[in-house]
Amino acid sequence: MSYISKPIAHHPALPKNALGLTHREYEGSMSTLCAGCGHDSITAAIIEACFEMDLPAHRIAKISGIGCSSKTPTYFLGRSHGFNSVHGRMPSVTTGANMANRDLVYIGISGDGDTASIGLGQFCHAVRRKLNMTYIVMNNGCYGLTKGQFSATNDKSSPSKKGEANPFEAIDLCQMAIQLGAGFVARSFSGDKRQLIPLIKAAISYKGFAFLDVISPCVTFNNHAQATKSFEYVRAHNQAIGRLDYVEPKEEITVDYASGESKAVTMHDGSHLILHKLDKGHDPRDSNAAIQTIRENAAKGEVATGLLYINEAQQDLHDVLATDDRPLNVLPMSELCPGSKALEGINARLR
Amino acid sequence: MQASEIAARARGRMAPTDINNPKYFHKVVDCQWACPTHTPVPEYIRLIAQGRYAAAYMLNWESNVFPGILGRVCDRPCEPACRRGRIQTSTEVNAKDPSKLNAEPVAICRLKRVAADNKGDIGAFMPDIPATKNGKRIALLGGGPASLTVVRDLMPLGYTCVLYEKDPKGGGLMRTNIPSFRLPEAVLDEEVERITDFGVETRFGKAGMVTSLKAIVDEGYDAVFVGTGAPKGKDLEIPGRKEADKNIHIGIDFLTSVAFGHIKTIGKRVVVIGGGNTAMDCCRTALRMGAEAVTVTVRSPRKVMKASDWEIGDAVYEGIPILENHAPKAFVIKGGKLAGVTFEKMTLTGTDAKGRPQLAPSGELVTVDCDDVLMAIGQDNAFPWIERDIGLEFNEWNMPKVDRTTMMSTRPGVFFGGDAAWGPENIIWAVAHGHQAAISIDSFLHGRPLTDRPAPGATLISQKMGIHEWSYSNDYDAAGRVKVPHADLKSSIRNLRMEVELGYDDKLAAKEVERCLNCDVQTVFTANLCIECDACMDICPVDCINFIDNDDEKGLRKSLRVPAVNASQDLYISSDLKTGRIMAKDEDVCLHCGLCAERCPTGAWDMQKYFYVEPQAAKACLTHHNAYIR
């Protein structure tokens, strides 16, 4: 933890976005995580993505649970809404917030413990309900805050820093998310911002449940030579199945994607995702193929990264429940509380 | 690899930066690099911050010889170079170019004065002057900063120095051309006498008037140093010049006469012709001698005036109007006496290839009524006293041929420095010339080749004190430049001897020192320790760190997170990292806050203090500097 805060001075030639803001204005306070933590890189990628998308910070809500990962919302988007909730309960809080105000952008931050252990049930139901949010797991395979015990996502082959073997199979959150019906599933690596930033932008613009599993090395407890979630291992075994370009609604598509190697997907908000396939066998719109790609790579000790699965036609929770188009805070009192007569009518129907 | 990347790689690659070359980090300390004598600015600022004024003064004195004087009137090339000025802009409009706001560099010059004002007794730190001389006699012609520096550097080595000065006191133009409301006589006397007290043989006044270089050489000196300045003010031959002679004064002669009390009065209305610093001193002096209306006129637009913008600012603050684009045409004579100056207004027609404004006469004539004219349109060197048959060659501009490195003329044993060498510069350049000339004279008299210049000293030492503790104040202080208190305007513009600037007191100085970015504390990168976690890149407040594919310099400069457009600032390039990329850091606006090193999990970044020592003839004059060198 640094004793000084990040100087407010910035590069005089820093680019500004459509709102006239620099990326510095999307920052939060100083990180208190260990120096070199992968989570800080993901934080920086979220800042960059929101800056590049010209998002007004006050229209974003960042919600988290407990853990190293869940501390990070303090370090980005200092001018957004935030809720640091109970361990594993980020999905419930996000669901409540989203139901009340469907107009905000929801970024849920969780970790491998917060999602794959204590919050596994919450996670499953948020996916199942197709909550319109970006769910980011900062996945380091260990419990950094409590001195590095194995988490549920740590590979069986990956021992602890002191050489202790891991007796259990790992939970693959991407496979789970696809099986449970997530419409957007991607995996990335904190050390590869060129891949990560477009994925975050695509996830934010996706309407429905967008899941991002980001491998984020724990420099203190899980970055040793045998760890499979270390910088070195992930760099050596990263199998990018495709490259993704995020094209803003206002921009023109300049890439020639007709060649068959690239595909364009139009998002709900008018933006486009241009997928450049590196693995010819993989079709990100086929959920079976996506799971197969993940499993085949995992069997070889490789990590498949990139946009694994997308279903751009998916409906979100509000569509499914046919809720009002407007957030609760703009509904007039007469509609929010129609009065005792209306209540009597409802009660009468139930008698 | 993408086709574009393959092409980029084919274009070329930048070689890793060699940080063992003392030049590399020297250049990152912009203030020190810009200073002709390479004074270690950030180090003395830290000493001031610690209240160690005597130590701060001594670092200055060893390097630039006249800290008290320079702390008031230096041309301060360090300040426009200061990195802080690149990241912070004032809300104040620039006096020279009102379309711009002032940059906000650290007030380096004014902090130097703080060290001088508070140093106390530094007698104990003065170099020992050997009682037994080495038998070599040096003549120094002209008692200004160049000659005094040579004396300062050579006396501790046992040389006998004979100082010639036509004026009754030493100091040269520092005494004659800088008015005492900017530089009090007591400050000048103290620093000049500190050197003459080393046991210099002074020939001041009549005895110091040199009329023949041959005669000096014939006296049998082992070496001669010419530091006679550029004493001839330019004149303007336009109609009426002769008739109005009684009321037309050459600027530098006027200032000298005022300094020695030969001129005590001036007319009610004064026109100053010229736009340099001498013009600014002339107009402000005229005001203090009782003139009621003083007008400065320049031929060119205001924004290309030669004067420093802060000197223009001071004149403007005192209510002196500056008429730009006014070319003098004639002196108006009425009743056989000067009555005014007629100017033709110039029109801006465009700019030349170098961006300098091109002017054409507009035909519109303007007359400014006046009683006296001060002419400050430049200075020339004049050497009527140097014989042309003594083996000392002159060039086509009738200037002596002087070697840029050794300061020696074509006559062995005769050296030049200061304004006498290549025309008007300033005090700090004169001091730098003096140091080089002293090295040459010492080599010359010991039979060493003059082209063998002593190597600079340099060290690089980690400043890490704890996990997140550094030996310097690394926290960025966003404060603006602290204003120097001024004497009351009403009384100061009527008093020739009242110093206008009061200087910082210790409290104001304590605020200003925190603005220094400590650019001498370098970000040192060790490539084989880096795990490419991006932490440094993410935390860097000025986005100067990049992990990127190597390319040639042009390509790299363009593809950085923020393109590196300031070509005067180097890129710090690492050797190849594990992924095949490199670390490329643009030094341009680095705040030296140390956060890259704090956020680095492997210690690949470290903050290390770079201390550079510019060599001099006598080690005894560098003891405070050399204490930093292991």
Q: Which residues of B touch A223 (CB under 8 A)?
A: 531
pLDDT score recorded for residue A1: 66
Answer whether residue A331 is part of any domain: no
Residue A269 near residue A205, CB atoms below 8 Å: yes
Q: Please answer yes or no on whether A13 and B476 come within 8 Å at the CB atom.
A: no
Over chain B (630 residues), the average pLDDT of each successive run of 10 is: 53 89 96 98 98 98 98 96 93 87 94 98 96 96 97 98 95 95 96 97 95 95 95 91 94 94 94 96 96 96 92 94 96 94 93 87 95 93 92 92 97 96 93 98 97 95 92 95 94 93 96 97 97 95 96 94 94 95 96 96 96 96 92
Residue A216: count of CB within 10 angstroms of its CB: 32
pLDDT in tens, A239-290: 988 888 888 887 776 665 555 567 778 888 888 888 877 766 678 889 999 9
Task: Say yes or no: B491 and B385 in one domain.
Answer: no
Domain that holds residue B491: 35-124+481-514
pLDDT score recorded for residue B1: 46
Q: Please answer yes or no on whether A6 and B565 come within 8 Å at the CB atom.
A: no
Closest-CA residue to A67 (of A171, A207, A216): A216
Interface of B with A in 424-483 (CB under 8 A): 468-469, 474-476, 478
DSSP code at position B486: B
Closest-CA residue to A94 (of A79, A110, A78): A110
Answer whether residue A99 is part of any domain: yes
Residue range A77-95: mean pLDDT, rounded = 97
Answer whether residue B343 is part of any domain: yes
Residues sharing a CB contact under 8 Å with residue B470, sequence separation 6 or more, in sequence order: B463, B464, B521, B594, B607
Nearest to B87 among A12, A190, A231 (CB): A12
- Nearest residue of chain A to residue B538 (CA atoms): A44
Q: Could you tell me which residues of chain A have a Cβ less than 8 Å from any Cβ in chain B? A: 1-4, 6-15, 24, 31, 34-38, 40-41, 43-44, 190-191, 193, 217, 219, 223, 231-232, 235
Q: Which residues of A touch B535 (CB under 8 A)?
A: 35-37, 40-41
Domain count, chain A: 1
pLDDT score recorded for residue B494: 92
Query: Residue B364 in 3-state DSSP?
Result: strand
Answer whether residue A290 is part of any domain: yes
Task: Say yes or no: B368 and B412 in one domain.
Answer: no
Q: Measure B87 CA to nearest chain A CA, in Å.
A: 6
Spatial separation of the C-alpha atoms in residues A98 and B546, rounded to whole Å? 38
Residues sharing a CB contact under 8 Å with residue A340, sequence separation 6 or more, in sequence order: none
Q: Is the Cβ of B409 closer than 8 Å to some Cβ of chain A?
A: no
**CATH code of A239's domain:** 3.40.50.970
Q: Please answer yes or no on whether B534 and A190 come within 8 Å at the CB atom.
A: yes
Domain count, chain B: 4
Q: Is the Cβ of B563 closer than 8 Å to some Cβ of chain A?
A: yes
Spatial separation of the C-alpha atoms in residues B334 and B90, rounded to whole Å? 48
Spatial separation of the C-alpha atoms in residues B521 and B45, rounded to whole Å? 13
Answer whether residue A350 is part of any domain: no
Task: Say yes or no: B212 and B272 in one domain.
Answer: no
Nearest to B589 among A12, A36, A231 (CB): A12
Q: Is the Cβ of B182 closer than 8 Å to some Cβ of chain A?
A: no
Q: Which residues of B touch A43 (CB under 8 A)?
A: 538
Closest-CA residue to B341 (of B296, B395, B283, B311): B296
Q: Please answer yes or no on whether B595 and A43 come within 8 Å at the CB atom.
A: no
Give the tokens for residue A272: 């486009």
Query: Residue A275 in 3-state DSSP?
Result: strand
Answer whether residue B454 is part of any domain: no
Mean pLDDT of chain A: 93
**CATH code of B166's domain:** 3.50.50.60
Q: Which residues of B touch A34 (CB under 8 A)?
A: 601
pLDDT score recorded for residue A255: 60
| Neighbouring C-alpha atoms within 13 Å toward the C-beta of A245 | 16
Answer whether residue B119 is part of any domain: yes
Strands B545-548, A272-277: parallel, antiparallel or unpaired by DSSP?
Answer: unpaired
Q: Which residue has the tokens 């910035």?
A: A10
- SS3 of B389-438: the string is CCCCCECCCCCECECCCCCEECCCCEEECCHHHHCCCCHHHHHHHHHHHH
pLDDT score recorded for residue A264: 79
What are the backbone angles phi and psi of residue B345, rounded to the nearest 5°?
A: -75, 140
Q: Measure B527 CA to nearest chain A CA, in Å.
A: 15
Helix (H) or strand (E) holding A142, with range, is strand A142-143
Q: Is the Cβ of B101 closer than 8 Å to some Cβ of chain A?
A: no
Nearest to A4 among B475, B538, B601 (CB): B475
Task: Say yes or no: B164 and B83 in one domain.
Answer: no
Answer whether residue B418 is part of any domain: yes
Spatial separation of the C-alpha atoms in residues A242 and A230, rounded to whole Å? 22
**For the purposes of burial, counting CB atoms within 10 Å of the CB of A18, is it exposed (0-12), middle (13-18) or buried (19 or more)?**
exposed
The one-letter amino acid at B416: F
pLDDT score recorded for residue B286: 97
Closest-CA residue to B60 (of B77, B48, B75): B48
- Nearest residue of chain B to residue A30 (CA atoms): B539
